[in-house]
Amino acid sequence: MSEPVIARKGPYEVEVKAGEKYFWCGCGRSATQPYCDGSHKGTGLVPVMFTAQTDETVYLCGCKATSKRPFCDGSHQRV
């Protein structure tokens, strides 16, 4: 299994809509960060699906080291 690639040393600020499904890139290889584009194939890593509960701004992890996948927990300050 491969290790995730740091896509960005900081979170992605994105708007989500209530009831919509999103697929966060867990491998760091996607060209459509912070979302999955299928680049994880063959790595043993997978995206994380989440459904937005409300229309809001969220902060998705860019360093891929968060313990609160897919949301930023500040881990980028230690990588």
pLDDT of residue 50: 98
Across the chain, what does the average pLDDT equal? 97
Compute CA distances 38 → 11, 20, 77, whole Å.
20, 19, 27
Q: Confidence band (pLDDT; 50, 70, 90) for 1? A: confident
Contact 11, 62 (CB under 8 A): yes
pLDDT of residue 41: 97
Q: Confidence band (pLDDT; 50, 70, 90) for 32? A: very high
Strand 12-16 versus strand 21-24 pairing type: unpaired
Residues 5 and 43: their CA atoms lie apart, in Å, by 11
Q: Is the dihedral of CA 41, 46, 49, 55 positive or negative?
A: negative
